[in-house]
Every structure is written in structure tokens, then in C-alpha cells.
Amino acid sequence: MAEAVESALEDRRHLIVEAGTGTGKTLAYLVPAILSGRRVVVSTGTKNLQEQLYYKDVPFLQQHFEQPLSVCYMKGRSNFLCRQKLYDAEKTPMLEGLQEVADFQIIRDWEQTTETGDRAEIKKLPESSSAWAKLDARRELCTGQKCAQYQRCFITQMHQRAHESDVIIVNHHLLCADLAMKEDDFGGILPDYTAVILDEAHEVEAVAGEYFGLSVSNYQFTDLLRDMSATARRKNFGSEELDRVIIQLQDAAAYFFSLFGEGDGRTGFREQSAFLAEHQDKYADLLHGLELAWTHLELVKDAPEEVLPLLRRARELHRALEFWMPAADPTFVYWLERRNRGVYLQATPIDVAPLLSSKLFERIDTVILTSATLTVAGDFDFVKTRLGVPGARTEAVASQFQYGEQALLYVPQHLPDPRNAAFTASASEEVLRLLRATRGRAFVLFTSYQQMRLLHDRISAAIEYPCLLQGTGPRHALLEEFRSTPNAVLFATSAFWQGVDVPGDQLSCVIIDKLPFTVPSDPVVEARIRQIRESGGEPFREYQIPQAAIALKQGFGRLIRSRTDRGVLALLDNRITRQRYGQIFFDSLPDYAFTLDFNDVKRWCESLT
């Protein structure tokens, strides 16, 4: 793999590499990247993987290089402290409650010693700290070079380190944000680079869809109005007229977003014309309110620099609403999401391939895509098509694990079809049998939250093993509890299907309830299915099956993480053995030992003890 990456960097060609678990793929791309003499951006799927690369893999490699390695990492702004906000908070009442005051003291003490300003350094700060949300360096209130703390700003220093580095470690969110708005963040988010390595490349389509689309929510209006009011008080340009403008816009936004109904969920929205015919006046009131707000801000005499980001945000909201409401671009799917009290108007590109092609693959001459799960039945066509990189070289690097000896895949034949109402009760009994055989030590992974909760409630009361449930605590805390609790069972959904590493006996079984087909009624999935069908394709074969096959590989990939790991994989969905398309799933998975007989599972488990 290292030789293939080296050749791609030398020849200035794109490369796609599937590298199985245990192949050492991070070292295989880091070494040639460091030796290439080019500025290379390494983009990972998660911040956790970023930190692993920077704090573990790079120091290991440094031991084998005489010269200091020129490597840095960059994260999104919300990960860093804004010094100006911290100093303002000491003078202006903005903290609420004893918890925020306590968190503020932790942050203030840490600010005096930190060199990076990265909140990951503060182990004592709760993950959900509302004080941090008031002090982070997000761009909504950033005045850039006009800020008194610009030279000492952690964002400025991060950019300086990046300009001085040959290898820059980012995540897909930051890379896609850079591609989507290269010219719009005080000179760009990332410095110029000539090569990109995409680790966990199977996640890129979803992240790109988010960043090349747009979202307008009632929370954005709430935040803008709060910041306008607070900045006016702090910088002494408040007035009765500004108060009236704020109240008028607040009322217009509340009324407008209330028109989209109640109840959580994601739904397509193609009724813009009918909506405008009935509510044109309320839509116009909202746009007018935004225009009044930025006009008033433009007229502030001797306006402080803090007014500029407020102006930018008001105009961005105006532009976003004008794009979303006519729903005029046929390359986007327009949809609506309600979550708790939030209402989000979303527009997502139906096909990100042309966007990635023009913004990344045509602009950068060397892009290397890698992951343990990129092929479907041994073929790279799916990822090439979905990401828009048809001419790339390909390489498949087999894992060194002996899957046939280390893992047994079990598919029970007596369970009803997962779409049958009787499936939940039967699946519960089967999971109980499996957990008793493996003595817990299992992930039970689901394709829906509802199914997860139903089976957790049934099973946790029936077995003696500790049962953990996704959503009852932060992801990292649940993982740590699982690792440290003998015989624990974790019930989880997609958040735990990838990026989770529990080597050893503590995880000896992974159970998956259903083949992980995306929900066809999801507005983005529905639009992509419709586009493929209208172009003469077969969406089930070309899109839904390959996507599910890659997801299944990811889920089962949690089990075998080292050469000494052994365990049981169970798929409760026997369509994989009964439908013709099931062979594609089998051809996509490693060559596990396989059985339909639960007695084989019991014998396998006995051999593990």
C-alpha cells in the first residue's frame, strides 16, 4: 500500500485503496506523504482518528526520522477557545447558573497555560458544557484581523502552524467546509495544498452532502437576535429603534417557522408554491425583517468591528431563504426536519459526485481514498460513481487476520422476515440465546432507534449481564464503561457501527438486527433513488444494496481488531440467505466461518473459554 501511495504522489494520479483492518494503513500513507516533499492534507472520518494520528502515529514515526516532522492538525472553530469572548465574559454578565460559573473557572484557569486552545485538553469539562458554547471561536461573532486578540488567537496560531507544515491533519467536515467556501473565511480555512489523503473515505459522500447544501433554522434566527442584542449592549449602540427591529424580526421568525407544523422527523418538502400562495405575507415579513436588521446595523455611527459578522449573518440567512423557498434548483432535494423545538429547512445536493469532481478531483492532482470498506463484491465501481472519481487507480490490500479461524458468522433461519410484526419478539428470544452463549460481551447493533429501545427493554430485564443503552450517556463514556465492565452488553445504532475499537475478550460477539438498508422514504435517499431510476438505472442494485453492503462490513468490522481476537457475528435478517441479492453481501464480507445452526455457535463459544 505504501508503494502504491508513493507512486500516486509521484505520478500525480488519484488512487483508491481498500485496506483491511490490521494492515497498518495509517503508516502506509503517512510515510510516503512525509517523504513526498509536497504539502499533503490528510482528512479523517472523526476527530478521534485525527488525535490518534497526531498524538500516536506521528510521534512513533518521528523516532525513525532524523529531521523534525513538519506535521500539524486543524479542527473546526468550535473546538477552540476565543480569548476575546473569555475576556468579555469577565466584564459582562453572560453566565447562567452555578454549573456555567464552575465551567468558566476551569476554562479561565486553563487559558493561562494552554498553547493550542483545543478543548480536548480539558478533561474536567463536561462534554455538554453550555459555558464552552458561549466562549468557543465559532465565526458568528469573529471580527478576524480587527480583533484585539488576533495575534494571540488560537485560530490564528493554528493557521500559522498549518502554513509552516508539510502534512496537515484535518477531518472530512473541515475539508468539505474548505471546499464549499474556500474564499469566505478570512482567506480560506486551509492553506494551499497539492495532495489529499481521505481516510475513512466511505463517509465522504454524506459529509459532502451536508457542506455543499444549506440549512436554515429557527435557532439561527434566535442566535442572531441574541447576539445583536448582547453586542449592542456591550458596545453601547443600543436604542429603542433597534429593540423594535429585533422584536419585529423575532416575531416574524417565530410565526414563519410555526407554519411548518409539529412532530419530530425528516420529510421531503416540495410544496413551496402552495406554501407561498397561502403564506406569502409571512415569508415577506421575515425577509423584510432581515433587511431592516442589516440596514439598521449599517447605519450604526462609528460601528464597532463586532457589527460586521452580524451583518454577514443576516445577509446569509436572507440568501439561504431565497434559495430554499422557490426550490428552483433540480439538482437539490429540499426537505424539512423537526427536532425537539428546532425547525430546519434543508437543501442537499442529490448527487455530490459532480461537486466533488469540480471542487476536489479536478483541482487537486493527487487524491488518495482509503478505508477498510470501499469495495462491493470485490468491485470499486460504487465508490467511484458516488464520489465522482472514475479514472482512479485501485488497490485492494487484504487483511492479515485469519477470519475463517477467528470469526463465526451465524444467520438463524427460523426468524420471520424483519418486516413482519412478529420479528421483534422472535429476535428478542434469539438475542437472549446468543448473549447467554457468549456470556454477554456483545454489541447488539440496530438500524433504528425504536427497535433498539424495544429489544433493550425486553432483554435487559431477562438477563443478568449489565446492559448499556446508547443515548443514556456520551458515546465515549459508554464505550469506556463497556470496556471496564465484565460481561457488558451495549445496545446501539449507527453511531457505534464504525470508528469503535474494543480489542480482546471484552467484545466477543456482534449482533446485527437487519441488513442496513437506508430508509427509502428518507427525503435524500428517496431523491437519489428517483434520480437513478429516471436516468434509466436500477436504484436497488446500483445504490441501496452497495450502500448496505458497505455498512454491514463496517458493523461486523467491530469484532476482529487484532490477530488474537475471536468471536461470533450474528445477523438476524435471513434475507441474506433467501434472496438472490444476499450473495452480494456474502461476496463483500471477509471469508468468515459460516453456520445456520445454533449448536455450532454454542460449540464455538465453548472453544473461546
Q: Does one domain contain both 362 and 257?
A: no
99-153 pLDDT, tens per residue? 889 999 999 999 999 999 999 888 888 777 889 988 999 888 888 888 899 999 9
Q: Check whether residue 177 and residue 52 sit in a common domain.
A: yes
Same structural domain, 453 and 586: yes
Q: Is the pLDDT of residue 85 over 80?
A: yes
Q: Are residues 345 and 356 in the same domain?
A: no
For the chain, the domain total comes to: 4
Average pLDDT over residues 247-266: 94
Residue 519's nearest CA partner among 507, 527, 510 is: 527
Same domain, 434 and 506: yes
The residue-averaged pLDDT of 409-419 equals: 96
Q: Are 392 and 369 in contact (CB under 8 A)?
A: yes
Asked whether residue 116 is assigned to any structural domain, the reply reads yes
Which residue, 54, 313, 50, 52, is CA-closest to 174?
A: 50
β-pair partners for 337: 266, 344
Average pLDDT over residues 230-240: 88
Residue 504 has pLDDT above 90, yes or no: no
**Sign of the Cα pseudo-torsion (202, 384, 544, 508, in order):** negative
Do the domain assignments include residue 160? no
- Asked, for residue 287, whether it belongs to a domain, the answer is yes
CB 180 within 8 A of CB 212: yes
* Under 8 Å between Cβ of 383 and 200: no
Residues 13 and 120 in one domain: no
So what's the pLDDT on residue 186?
A: 45
Residues 285 and 372 in one domain: no
Could you tell me if residue 157 is inside a domain?
no
- Among 189-193, 280-284, 497-501, 564-568, name the one with the lowest average pLDDT: 497-501
Calpha distance 197→195 (Å, rounded): 7
Q: Of the ranges 175-179, 182-186, 228-232, 494-498, which one carries the lowest mean pLDDT score?
A: 182-186
Residue 337, pLDDT score: 96
pLDDT at residue 289 in the model: 96
Cα(44)–Cα(171) distance, integer angstroms: 4
Report the mean per-residue pLDDT for the chain: 93
Query: Residue 185 pLDDT > 50, yes or no?
Result: no
- Residues 422 and 536 occupy one common structural domain: yes
Q: Where a domain ends, among 397, 423, 453?
A: 397
542 domain-assigned: yes
pLDDT, mean of residues 501-515: 92
Which tens digits make up the pLDDT trace of 150-179?
A: 999 999 999 999 999 999 999 999 999 899
- Confirm whether 156 is domain-assigned: no
High-pLDDT (> 90) share of the chain, %: 78
Write out pLDDT tens, residues 580-606.
999 999 999 999 999 999 999 999 998
- Considering only residues 309 and 499, tell me which one the structure prediction assigns the higher pLDDT: 309
Whether the CB-CB separation of 262 and 218 falls below 8 Å is answered with: no
Range of the domain at 140: 78-146
Confidence band for 565, pLDDT divided at 50, 70 and 90: very high
Q: Exposed (0-12), middle (13-18) or buried (19+): which is 389, by Cβ within 10 Å?
A: buried
CATH of the domain at 289: 1.10.275
Phi first, then psi: give them for residue 184, nearest 5 degrees.
-115, 15
pLDDT (average), residues 9-35: 95
- Same domain for 553 and 477: yes
Task: Classify residue 426 by burial, with Cβ atoms within 10 Å: 0-12, 13-18, 19+.
Answer: middle
302: Cβ contacts below 8 Å, ≥ 6 apart:
none
Residues 392 and 435 grouped into a single domain: no
Are 65 and 203 in a shared domain? yes
The 10s digit of each residue's pLDDT in 202-227 is 999 999 999 999 999 999 999 999 99
What count of other Cβ atoms lies within 10 Å of the Cβ of residue 154? 21
Residue 159 in any domain: the answer is no
What is residue 607's predicted lDDT score, i.e. its pLDDT?
Answer: 86
Looking at residue 188, its pLDDT comes to 62
Here the CATH number for the domain that contains residue 53 is: 3.40.50.300
Say whether both 474 and 339 belong to one domain: no
DSSP H helical ranges for 422-578: 423-438, 449-460, 475-484, 523-534, 539, 545-556, 575-578
Percent of the chain surpassing pLDDT 70? 99
Query: Residue 183 pLDDT > 60, yes or no?
Result: no
Residues whose CB falls within 8 Å of the CB of residue 420, separated by 6 or more in sequence, listed in order? none
Mark which of 349, 381, 413 sits at the end of a domain.
349
Q: What is the mean pLDDT of residues 259-273?
A: 91
Last residue of a domain, one of 113, 146, 179: 146
pLDDT of res. 94:
76
pLDDT at 187 > cutoff 60: no
Closest C-alpha to 526, from 242, 181, 157, 266? 266
